[in-house]
Amino acid sequence: MRIAIDAMGGDHAPEEIIKGALEARQALDGDDELQLIGPPDVLEAQLRTLGAGPDIVQIVPADEVIGMDDPPVESLRRKRKSSIAVMARLAAHGETDAVLSAGNTGACVAACQLRMRTLPGVHRPGIAAVLPTLGGPVTMCDVGANVSCKPINLYQYAVMSCVYARRLLNIEQPRVAIMSIGEEEAKGNELVRRTRELLRADPELNFVGNVEGRDIFDGVCDVVICEGFVGNVILKLTEGLVDMVFRAIKQELIAGNLRLAMEFKPIITEIYKKYDYHEYGGALLLGANGTAIICHGSSKSRTIKNAILVAKKFHTLKINERIVARLAQCLVKPNGQ
């Protein structure tokens, strides 16, 4: 298969992106093809620095770059030769089988939605991120593609995330929960209450009810659905908070006991390794008509490598075909909402 990579996206582009691509290259099959998108001179120079031959990856020219903080839609319109725009066009024209970027998330989502369109039956795509927890991986959708959701969107995120969790994370009957602010039926907002009716009406879903913020990490569910605004807040809060806790420990250790601090370091490293979301290599844009992976802006080579392997797996396991088949059987339809 062919995988197109935005070599200019992310805080550590292009070096770490290209490094990650080269690392993935070793794990892929001989007939898999990696397409690096960016200014050819920059990419060629970087490949040379990393000691890679020119034939190991294909270079797809794109002379412009959308900055991490540029306004998404406006930038896409203005920079038609940007790596993100070129990447989405490759997918739209059938010139690649999967796309991947650690660049401006908003621009990425917009480009994929606009160019790749949605799978048959899908109302709006959603970003599915996998959170590592003590109870195992939890798939959360949406974490930022769809800021204001309708009940049908959340319902479809549940259906798609279940296919994803079953096939990619090997969870046979994923337990689906909806993010709310109380476990009782009556609690939550209008969106939660209306979505719950749809979830409950689908006998194929293993719907376990409301889940609160504190429960996500407790192993009570495998899939959590929420509006993009809430999901994105959760994702970023999780990052910031874990970071703060470890910094607090560090401060305390350094102030009090330097030997203990040294002894404690490998423990922290071990925990970071076990609960590292980089392991899951980026988030899938579920519902896009193709395979699209959005990586964290801070991605280093390992994340990019893992994301490329996830793209391969997602494509090989025909997850999109399974999503389409599953949605076709659903009694809940977009037009019904």
Which residues make up the interface to a copy of itself (CB under 8 A)? 69, 71-72, 106, 133-134, 144, 147-148, 179, 181-184, 186-190, 212-218, 228-230, 232-249, 251-253, 256-257, 260, 263-264, 267, 270-271, 274-275
Whole-number Å distance between alpha carbons of 151 and 265: 45
We find the least distance from the C-beta atom of residue 221 to a copy of itself, in angstroms, to be: 13
Whole-number Å distance between alpha carbons of 270 and 93: 44
For a copy of itself, the closer CB: 273 or 333 = 273
For a copy of itself, the closer CB: 120 or 240 = 240
Torsion-angle region of residue 139: left (phi > 0), alpha (psi -120 to 50) or beta?
beta
Rounded to 5 degrees, what are φ and ψ at 190? -55, -45
We find the least distance from the C-beta atom of residue 263 to a copy of itself, in angstroms, to be: 6
For a copy of itself, the closer CB: 10 or 39 = 10
Q: For 288, which DSSP code?
A: B
We find the least distance from the C-beta atom of residue 254 to a copy of itself, in angstroms, to be: 11
Sequence-separated contacts (24+) of 165-168 with Cβ below 8 Å: 165/137, 165/139, 165/222, 165/223, 167/317, 167/319, 167/322, 168/310, 168/313, 168/314, 168/317, 168/319
Cis peptide before 63 (omega within 30 of 0): no
For a copy of itself, the closer CB: 40 or 213 = 213
For a copy of itself, the closer CB: 22 or 112 = 112
Whole-number Å distance between alpha carbons of 293 and 285: 6
We find the least distance from the C-beta atom of residue 124 to a copy of itself, in angstroms, to be: 15
We find the least distance from the C-beta atom of residue 259 to a copy of itself, in angstroms, to be: 9
For a copy of itself, the closer CB: 264 or 309 = 264
We find the least distance from the C-beta atom of residue 336 to a copy of itself, in angstroms, to be: 24
CA–chain centroid gap for 207, Å, is 23
